[in-house]
Structures are given as C-alpha cells and as structure tokens.
Amino acid sequence: MNNTEFIHSLVRVGDDADKLSELRARLAAAAQRDAVLDIAYRVLDAPVGPLLVAATEQGLIRVAYAREDHDAVLQHLADKISPRILYVPGRLDAVARELDEYFAGARHDFGVPLDWRLSAGFRSTVLHHLHEIGYGQTASYAAVAKLAGNPKAVRAVGTACATNPLPVVVPCHRVVRSDGTMGGYLGGVEAKRLLLDLERVA
C-alpha cells in the first residue's frame, strides 16, 4: 500500500460520520503541525459535477472533473509532486468561495494563487495566455497559437487545453474551433457548453 492509499484508508474508515470528521480533523492538524502536509484537497459540488481541487503552499495546483477519476488524479499528484496528501477542506476555502461566485455569475476572474508545476514548455505558455480571452468570449485554437507565439502550433494548443491541470480557473473552455463549434473538452462537451452559456448569460 502506498502513502496515498494509506491516507485514503484512514480518512474513509468507519461508518460514523462524526468519527470520520473528527479523524480527518486530527490527521489534518497533526500533518500541519509536523509540517508533513504538502498537498491539501477537497471535493466541491458544482453545476458541472463534483470538482476535486488541490493546493500546495504555492497555490492551487489541480482542478479535476469526476470523469478524470479523482483517485487517479490524487495518485498522479503523489507521483509528480508529493505523496504527503490529505483531505483538508479548510485549506481550500478561498478556492471554494471563488468557484461558488463564478458559478453564480458573480465572478469573472479568479484571484487565488496558482501553482503551475504540472504544466511546462509550450503547454505552459499556452495556458498562461488563456486569461487574455475575456469572460464571455471565445477564441479559436489558431488564434491562441498566435497569442502563444507559434501560429502553426494549432494541434499543440489543443493538447495544452486537453491536459490543462486547472480547468475552469484557467479558461481552456473558451477555446473553440475556427468554425465556431466547441471542439473537445477534458470535462466533456456538456460541461464546456454549460460554462460558455453561464458566461454569456452573466
């Protein structure tokens, strides 16, 4: 059993909700006290389905749709960043608040700090340019390739969007095909449509 599985077995043990909550709180407090907590996570209810959000001391490092398999996402974080991961919802209150405001149509930009370690190279360059697509607007993959400094890298832009570790917050949903059709989305076409419709209405 690896460290991530061990932590999961602890926080999910038992049928008593109060005991489970108490155990989680004790584990979180001990991990923070002993400086052995590198990644905190929680799962939020959202109009696009459950979203796993995870953060390091540097900032939000991952937003994941249910279709990405939250357990697989946590294992990937353990492998790439650190196995010292724990369910500590309080550490993500600011993220939860901003996402709630966004889905309510009251927030157009996110202000939480981001940890970009899961993206690199041209993919990172693409993701850093996505905030230039305004709220309620869209841009083609070709237009984003130009923004990123390589007009011929249209396919690479698609790959960057498909592997975006911070969907919703880093708005890859605003990138569409040149003919105006939506194209693919890591959260699914329905989630992409919902986000675009939300922004248009707001």
Among residues 104, 135, 163, the one where a domain terminates is 104
Q: Is residue 13 included in any domain, yes or no?
A: yes
Give residue 28's pLDDT. Answer: 60
For residue 68, CA distances in Å to 21, 131, 142 come to 26, 23, 26
What is the per-residue pLDDT for 180? Answer: 87
* Identified catalytic residue from 81, 170, 172, 198: 172
Q: Are residues 23 and 95 in the same domain?
A: yes
The CATH number given to whatever domain includes residue 178 is: 1.10.10.10
Q: Do 128 and 79 fall into the same domain? A: no
User: At which of 44, 70, 104 does a domain end?
Assistant: 104
Range of the domain at 130: 121-201
Mean of the per-residue pLDDT values of the chain: 89
Lowest-confidence range among 17-26, 84-93, 121-130, 133-142? 17-26
The answer to whether residue 161 is catalytic is: no
pTM over 0.85, yes/no: no
> What CATH number is given to the structural domain containing 93?
3.30.160
pLDDT digits (tens, 9 = 90+) for 41-73: 999 999 999 999 999 999 999 999 999 999 999
- Residue 77 structure tokens: 């974080």
Nearest to 2 by CA among 117, 88, 84: 84
Contacts of residue 186, Cβ cutoff 8 Å, sequence gap at least 6: 65, 67, 68, 161, 162, 163, 164, 167, 172
As a whole number of angstroms, the distance between CA 75 and CA 97 comes to 26
What is the rounded CA–CA span in Å between residue 33 and residue 27?
Answer: 10
pLDDT of residue 147: 95
Residue 94 buriedness (CB in 10 A; 0-12 / 13-18 / 19+): middle
Domain count for the chain? 2
CA distances from 167 to 36, 91, 95, 131, 186 (A): 27, 19, 13, 12, 8
Instruction: Look at 156 and 180; give whichever has higher pLDDT.
Output: 156
| Pick from 18-27, 76-85, 104-113, 119-128: least confident | 18-27
Residues 96 and 156 in one domain: no
What values do phi and psi take at 5, rounded to 5?
Answer: -65, -35
- For residues 80 and 139, membership in a common domain is answered with no
Residue 46 domain-assigned (yes or no) = yes
Render pLDDT for 104-153 as a digit per residue (tens, 0 to 9): 999 999 999 999 999 999 999 999 999 999 999 999 999 999 999 999 99
